[in-house]
Every structure is written in structure tokens, then in C-alpha cells.
Amino acid sequence: MPHKFKIVSRKNDQYGVQFLYNSEIMVWSESYKGKASATNCIESIKKNAPGATVVDLTKDDKGSGYRFEIVESKNGQYFVRFVASNGETMVISETYTDKRNALNCAASVAKNAPAAAVEDDS
């Protein structure tokens, strides 16, 4: 399967989560102190991304609950973040010059996360 999650090691004995399509990282998480927290991040995305709404913050849309947010960066590009119901960002994407690519990224995570394999590369 081309989509997968990876748990990766980070500095200071911490862990991160990546969601990949083939070998390209689509979104990644903050660093977690424990591997269990990284695993919980993955399970939450698998469960909540498919039903999450897309909130376009460039149009002053408002949202709550689990959601994908489309954000304009300082340089005029766009990125996606997946936000938990408590308002904390779980994962973030690279920036895209075209907003449609950010929307496609969100749609791909929502569609493919539930069945994605999990690799532990930590």
C-alpha cells in the first residue's frame, strides 16, 4: 500500500509521526516524549480524519471538533494542519503555491489514513 504512517526517532529521545505517500512525507507531527503518544496520534488520525471537516482559514471559515485547516503562510503559500477537538495541531504539511494542492493533501489524508499501515522506524 502506498500510504503509510511512520513513527520516527527525533533528538532528545523523542518520537514523531509522519504520513507518507510512497516515499514522500505529506504531513508530520510535533515531537512526543513517549512512543505511546506518537501511537495515539496515529490512532486518532485514523479514526477522526475521515469525518473531519475542511476549514479554509483564508476565507475566515470557522470550525470546531476534529478538522483540517487550510492556512496561508507568511510567504503567500498554503499548508494544511489537522487539528484535534481540543484545538491542538496534530500534524502539518509542507507549503504549496496552489491552495488546491493543500486541499488535495487534506482529502488524501482523510481518505487513506484509516487503512494505512504503520511502520516503527524509531
Find, among 92, 121, 85, the residue nearest to 109 by Cα: 92
For residue 46, give its domain range.
3-120
Q: How many domains does the chain have?
A: 1
Separation of alpha carbons 37 and 122, rounded Å: 13
Separation CA 58–CA 47 (nearest Å): 26
How many helices and strands (H and E) does the chain possess?
A: 2, 8
Q: How far apart are CA 111 and CA 108, in angstroms?
A: 5
55 pLDDT above the threshold of 80:
yes
Confidence of residue 52 (pLDDT cuts 50, 70, 90): very high
What gap in Å lies between CA 73 and CA 1, rounded to an integer?
32
The rounded distance, in Å, linking the Cα atoms of 33 and 91 is 16
Cβ(64)–Cβ(50) below 8 Å: no
37: CATH: 2.30.29.80
pLDDT digit string (tens) for 71-122?
A: 999 999 999 999 999 999 999 999 999 999 999 999 999 999 999 999 999 8
Q: Mean pLDDT, to the nearest integer, of 28-43?
A: 96
Q: What kind and span of H or E run contains 108? A: helix 99-112
- Closest by CA to 111, choosing from 28, 43, 52, is 52
91 or 62, which is more confident? 91
